[in-house]
Amino acid sequence: MAQPRLDITWDQVKRAMRQIRPCVYEIPKNFRPYMRVPARLYISPTLLERLELGAIQQIINVASLPGIVKWAISLPDTHTGYGFPIGGVAAFDVEEGIISPGGIGFDINCGVRLLVSNLTIKDVEPKKKALLQALKEHVPAGVGVSGMLRVTFAELDEVMVEGAHWAVRNGYGEERDLQFIEDGGRLLGADPAKVSNRARQRGRRQLGSLGSGNHYIEVEVVTDIWDEKAAKKMGIEEIGQIVLMIHTGSRGFGHQVASDYLPVMRRAARKYGIHLRDVQLACAPFNSPEGQDYFAAMKCAANFAFCNREIITHFARQAFKKVFGDDVELKLVYDVAHNIGKVEEHYIDGVKRKLIVHRKGATRGFIGDRPEIPAPYRDIGQPILVGGSMLTGSYVLVGTNYTMEEVFGSTIHGAGRFMSRAAAKRRWSGAALKHELANKGILVDAVSMAVLAEEAPGAYKDLDLVVEAAVKAQIARKISRHRPIIVWKG
């Protein structure tokens, strides 16, 4: 991934940036002549000092795109990505704005789901090795690996349209789950005709698999509860309770969809006279044929990912039953995307407008009586699931009024990297990390020791600092925290 061409310096940024309130900074739109809106950074001073200048350049570049409203947004977990920074949010008017694959990411609908169990740490501790082995047997992981089931091309078309509903209809999930998945586990308007044969070939064998990199299935124990009422509503009952987190997306299928449409978008930008600050910002007017074709294909990939996480959940439940018997329960708390484009209504200067919201490494965090939120959660807000590293575990958050008013109902998705995979492999040994984590009570395994080295906890930002920055910026509120005890990675 090429780094953005810089036309800014740290000194220039620091002189121009003004603080709005604690952990909220703004770079005015007159900072560069090509900016259409300001850039907003929701970040602590400590994290800002470690932020790559390239990520700031990218969010400034995003502020130059046609139809962008309010401001371009960088969250506390931001780092440099493809065109748009990871940890970035941008919303565009549906009539005047654009859609960009770089603002959604290659792993379309990479997301997280959390399940709560009726087990405690006392139940699991004596059987940790058996549970790790069962999860490895039931949930394949790795680059290009095949999943637990193979579908025909006709069935794959059904998956693209039905999402998680396909999994449940075919016995790979529970009907109750669908209520607790973002958008019910199915984006309407997906069109398989807009997806290439190459994407179909890549996706047909990958349902029910984690993939590689930072994707994982993680057994965790609840260590902190700050809001007992909200936590209980989600099924998080007590300290010591065992929960399960699954992090994966649309696998090679979604990656191919994004790859297929990048040249289409580059041609469209030239066709419609859109000047790109960076070729990685390739885009098309949202309402153009090219924009709508990509949006329909993106929805196919998003539905594939919802289905994939539902199938993985089915096999994870089988793994738990193998170790703990048929009385074990794993209830879905929520499943949320953090690489997605959505048409949503938001208020801009007091006027409700329809926007195409790009969230890349960012989680939706709606509150209030919105129809997008499952009915049982409308009095507390939609759960925000924030993953960390193999050492730090995860948080559950909810949004705030500021989340809705300032960041289009969005907030952080994880710790965010600050070191490249190549640099991490040079610095750490996977085998040594595995031994070190075992000494801390965390059983970790992966398809290779190289993957463990790439995913070293030290390659990530401090999750506690990222969460505290979001809380101090008032775009999130803490509900609970969970520590990993078993990690299976791709």
Which residue numbers are catalytic?
413
Report yes or no: 4 and 56 within 8 Å, Cβ to Cβ: no
Token readout for 100 is 């960009």
Report yes or no: 413 and 110 within 8 Å, Cβ to Cβ: no
Residue type, 400: T
Q: Which of 364, 358, 401 is nearest to 383 (CA)?
A: 364
Taking CA atoms, 140 is separated from 149, 234, 243, 251, in Å, by: 11, 28, 20, 12
Residue 55 exposed, middle or buried by CB count within 10 Å (0-12, 13-18, 19+): buried
In 14-110, at which residue ranges do the beta strands (DSSP E only) sit? 18-21, 24-27, 39-42, 72-79, 86-93, 98-99
Report yes or no: 490 and 249 within 8 Å, Cβ to Cβ: no
Q: Which of 419, 412, 415, 392 is nearest to 461 (CA)?
A: 415
Residue 240, strand partner residues? none
Q: What are the residue ranges of helices labelled H in 95-143?
A: 121-124, 128-138
- For strands 216-225 and 477-489, give the pairing: antiparallel
